Amino acid sequence: MATYQLIVNGESREVEAVPNTPLLWVLRDNLSLTGTKYGCGVAQCGACTVHLDGAPVRSCSTPVSAVGNKKVTTIEGVSSGESLHPVQQAWMDENVPQCGYCQTGQIMAAIALIEKNPTPSDSDIETAMSGNICRCGTYERIRKAIKRASNAAAK
């Protein structure tokens, strides 16, 4: 066991974990941040997507020991109180979710895309979202929601 000081959603959090523990399980087990989901454990599905210094990573395949000083942002940290992040709002406006399980990972991937590329093309969206699986098949609405958020940001 080792002690790590993580910066999670803007707060300093001390956690004890063995060094190779995936960040996913530290977030869920140690910090009870359950919005980040387990889907495959091998960086194939994107359900566990969080941001490290704003870049999307698969927390299931990121050892806690590799996080260091990088700022961790989870779905719980992208908006505060009653105001939603524009991407979350677009997700609501387009009624994207069905079961909802993968959607937090999808939203984290979409936020990272829009912050890097505020006006993504269809092809940009497909590339950025190709690592995120949705078994309910909400892909059409995910694309629409990203465009909606992109248009809102452009205004």
Partner 1 sequence: MKTDIYESKIFKVSRRDFLKSTSMSMTGLLLGINLSCSDTSKKLVGNPDYIFSPNLFISLNGNGDVTLIAHRSEMGTGIRTSLPLVMADEMEADWSRVKVVQAVGDEKYGDQNTDGSYSVRMFFTPLRKAGATVRLLLEQAAANEWGVDVADCKANNHEVFHSSGKSLGFGYLAEKAAALPMPAEGSVKLKEPKDFKYITKQSSIVDLRDIVTGRAKFGLDNNHLPNTKIAVIKRNPEPGAGLKSFTSDNAVKVPGVLKVFTLDAPGFPTNFNKPLGGVVVVADNTWAALEGRKALDVTWSKGINADYNSLAYNGGMLNHAKAKGKVRRESGQIDKGLTSAKKIIEADYIVPLLSHTPMETPCALAHVHDNVCEVWAPVQDPQGVRKSLAEALGMDQKAVTVNITLLGGAFGRKSKPDFVVEAALISRTMGTPIKILWTREDDIQHDFYHFPAAQHLKVGIDENNKVTSWLHRSVFPPIGGTSDANSKEASGAELSMGMIDLPYAIENVCCETHESPAKIRIGWLRSVANIHHAFAVGCTLDEVAKARGVDPIQNVLDLLGNDRTIDFNSLTSEFWNYNEKLEDYPWSTARFRNVIETAKEKSNWGKNLPKGSGQGFAAHRSFLTYVACVVEVKVDANNKIRIPKVDYVVDCGVPVNPERIKAQFEGGAAFAASLALKSEITVKNGAVEQSNFHNYQVGRMSDSPYETAVHIIESNEKPTGVGEPPVPPFIPALCNAIYAATGKRIRQLPVRLT
Among 53, 55, 126, 151, binds partner 1 (CB under 8 A): 126
Q: Give the C-alpha separation, 26 to 28, whole Å.
A: 6
Taking the least distance from each CB to partner 1, the nearer of 41 and 66 is 41
CA angle 32, 34, 37 (to 5 degrees): 140
- By the rule CB under 8 A, 11 interacts with partner 1: no
Residue with tokens 């992208």: 78
- What are the CA-CA distances from residue 121 to residues 38, 62, 97, 130, 150 (Å)? 29, 29, 22, 14, 10
CB of 136 to partner 1, least distance (A): 5
Residue of 56, 86, 97, 120 that binds partner 1 (CB under 8 A): 97
Q: CB 115 → partner 1: shortest distance, Å?
A: 17
Element (DSSP H or E) covering residue 122: helix 122-129
Going by C-alpha positions, the residue among 144, 134, 49, 152 that lies closest to residue 91 is 144
Q: Per-residue string for binding with partner 1, 57-96, x by CB under 8 A? A: -----------------xxx--x----x---x--xx--xx
CB of 99 to partner 1, least distance (A): 3
Sign of CA dihedral 136, 148, 125, 106: negative
Residues that bind partner 1 (CB under 8 A): 1, 17-18, 20-22, 25, 28-30, 32-42, 44-45, 47, 74-76, 79, 84, 88, 91-92, 95-104, 107, 125-126, 129-130, 132-143
